[in-house]
């Protein structure tokens, strides 16, 4: 019997507060600022969707669908799944709300929770958060370049310096059949040494075997045929143009034939940014068949990426990146005596309305305890408001770093800090 502690969060989840929350705010602010410059609009989709959306969109042979989804039956006997990633929900919203009927392309970004039942580890939680962008309507490699450029600028903005771009092409459904046949022939030669999951996958979707994390399978597929050898003319031309654009724009990249990504909706371009140890920080690619898979009446190309916030914060810490510190409390307004409470709080309210960060006493502490608290929270300045200050219409503002005190009339204190 599992004992549940109601004061303990579920395994694989995280409470956001303090320093991590501050980092997350900076990350999201930087992303929003960039997306505004790129004319990418924000979208919020539900935390759960009908299960069939992920089965058809993400792919029934993927680890996500087979092993990791949080799926349940609601009270209306419908199969519902907490979303394991952001793309399928954004694609569903694009279709349901008729965004495809507007002038194209449609560019959307989101910050979303994602849920995957897997072994929790650093940067990979059962409930995690993603920054994602989806670019609908363009078949041009320039769409991939735009997302790659945005990611590079985003990482530069937050101080992440060690990431390198890896790209590959996994072709489309037209050339995938020829490749799958060649890959299946190879895998059959090593079938006895594959894990049970890969033995099943090789019959339904051989490409998924290349994404297996079991060491013995990873060793086998090192010598497997590569997708680049089987691209048709259209996919080959697309990949060559992408490389030409990246080269002409001075964007360094490495062709990595081992990238296939873990979701079935990808076609043609797939890409990742990896750190110095080869660990994947974020990834994305083109998924020209996803819209058609969800709605057979539509056939619209698209490309996107997802960046895990937890993984990003871990990498910032590993690289020793110090983000901009949280704004300090500019003034602590101490209160001495009951008769001063209203006047002191009126000053606090006035300053806050002008955008000044102010704190005061809510605990009926002594003046000594209030000053100790002001020092603990890092207040840059303090002032005490009591009966004498009210009577004289003045108080001493103390600089907590230098100890210098300045006599200021009560009606000028707000002006001093607003300036």
> pLDDT tens for residues 31-62?
999 999 999 999 999 999 999 999 887 777 67
What's the CA angle centered on 314, arms 312 and 317, to 5 degrees? 110
Q: Which of 10, 57, 17, 83 is nearest to 267 (CA)?
A: 57
Q: Is 168 left (phi over 0), alpha (psi -120 to 50) or beta?
A: beta
- Mean pLDDT for 257-270 is 84
Higher pLDDT, 3 or 65: 65
Whole-number pLDDT of residue 121: 77
pLDDT band at 5 (very low <50, low <70, confident <90, very high): confident
Name the average pLDDT for the chain.
Answer: 92
Full strand arrangement of the beta sheet holding 358-360: 358-360, 331-335, 381-385, 394-399, 405-409
CATH of 18-172+232-318, one of 3.90.1150.10, 1.20.58.100, 3.30.930.10, 3.40.50.300: 3.30.930.10
Tell the CATH topology of 331-418.
Rossmann fold (3.40.50)
* 27 pLDDT more than 80: yes
pLDDT in tens, 211-247: 787 888 888 888 889 999 999 999 999 999 999 999 9
Whole-number pLDDT of residue 1: 61
Domain with CATH 3.30.930.10 in the chain: 18-172+232-318
User: Which residues fall within 8 angstroms of residue 209, CB to CB, at 6 or more apart?
Assistant: 183, 187, 194, 198, 201, 202, 217, 221, 224
- Mean pLDDT for 294-309 is 95
Whole-number pLDDT of residue 98: 97
* 389 pLDDT more than 70: yes
- Helix (H) / strand (E) containing 130: strand 127-136
Higher pLDDT, 162 or 77: 77
Whole-number pLDDT of residue 216: 87
Whole-number pLDDT of residue 41: 98
Q: Are 248 and 237 in contact (CB under 8 A)?
A: no
How does strand 302-308 pair with strand 127-136?
antiparallel
Whole-number pLDDT of residue 119: 84
Whole-number pLDDT of residue 6: 83
User: What CA–CA distance (Å, rounded) separates 136 from 102?
Assistant: 11
Q: Are 273 and 281 in contact (CB under 8 A)?
A: yes
Whole-number pLDDT of residue 2: 63
Domain with CATH 3.40.50.800 in the chain: 331-418
Whole-number pLDDT of residue 336: 96
Is the pTM value of this prediction over 0.75? Answer: yes
The percentage of the chain sitting over the pLDDT mark of 90, rounded to a whole number, equals 74
Q: Please say whether the dihedral angle defined by the alpha carbons of residues 6, 9, 10 and 16, taken in this order, is positive or negative.
A: positive
Q: Which of 111, 65, 57 is nearest to 88 (CA)?
A: 57
């Amino acid at each position: 019997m599992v004992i549940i502690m109601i004061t303990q969060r579920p395994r694989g989840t995280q409470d956001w507060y303090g320093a991590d929350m501050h980092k997350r705010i900076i990350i999201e602010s930087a992303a929003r600022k960039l997306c505004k410059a790129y004319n990418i609009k924000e979208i919020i989709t539900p935390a759960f969707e009908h299960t069939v959306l992920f089965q058809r969109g993400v792919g029934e042979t993927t680890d996500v669908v087979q092993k990791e989804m949080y799926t349940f039956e609601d009270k209306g006997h419908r199969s519902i799944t907490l979303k394991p990633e952001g793309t399928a929900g954004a694609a569903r919203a694009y279709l349901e709300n008729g965004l495809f009927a507007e002038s194209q392309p449609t560019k959307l970004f989101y910050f979303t929770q994602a849920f995957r039942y897997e072994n929790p580890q650093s940067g990979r939680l059962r409930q995690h958060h993603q920054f994602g962008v989806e670019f609908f309507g363009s078949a041009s490699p320039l769409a991939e370049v735009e997302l790659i450029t945005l990611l590079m600028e985003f990482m530069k903005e937050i101080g992440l310096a060690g990431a390198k771009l890896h790209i590959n092409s996994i072709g489309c459904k037209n050339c995938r059949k020829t490749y799958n046949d060649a890959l299946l022939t190879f895998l059959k030669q090593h079938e006895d040494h594959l894990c049970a999951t890969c033995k099943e996958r090789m019959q339904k979707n051989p490409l998924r075997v290349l994404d297996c994390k079991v060491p013995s399978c990873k060793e086998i597929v090192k010598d497997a045929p590569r997708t680049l050898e089987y691209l048709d003319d259209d996919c080959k031309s697309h990949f060559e143009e992408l490389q030409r654009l990246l080269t002409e724009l001075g964007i360094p990249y490495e062709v990595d034939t081992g990238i296939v990504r873990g979701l079935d909706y990808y076609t043609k371009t797939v890409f990742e940014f990896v750190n110095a140890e080869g660990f994947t920080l974020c990834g994305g690619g083109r998924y020209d068949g996803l819209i058609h898979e969800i709605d057979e009446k539509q056939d619209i190309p698209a490309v996107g990426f997802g960046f895990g916030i937890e993984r990003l914060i871990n990498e910032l810490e590993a690289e020793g990146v110090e983000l901009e510190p949280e704004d300090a409390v500019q003034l602590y307004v101490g209160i001495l005596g009951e008769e001063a409470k209203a006047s002191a709080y009126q000053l606090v309210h006035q300053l806050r309305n002008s955008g000044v960060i102010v704190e005061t006493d809510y605990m009926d502490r002594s003046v000594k305890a209030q000053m100790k608290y002001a020092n603990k929270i890092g207040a840059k300045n303090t002032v005490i408001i009591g009966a004498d200050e009210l009577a004289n219409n003045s108080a001493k503002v103390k600089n907590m770093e230098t100890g210098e005190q300045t006599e200021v009339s009560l009606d000028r204190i707000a002006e001093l800090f607003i300036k």
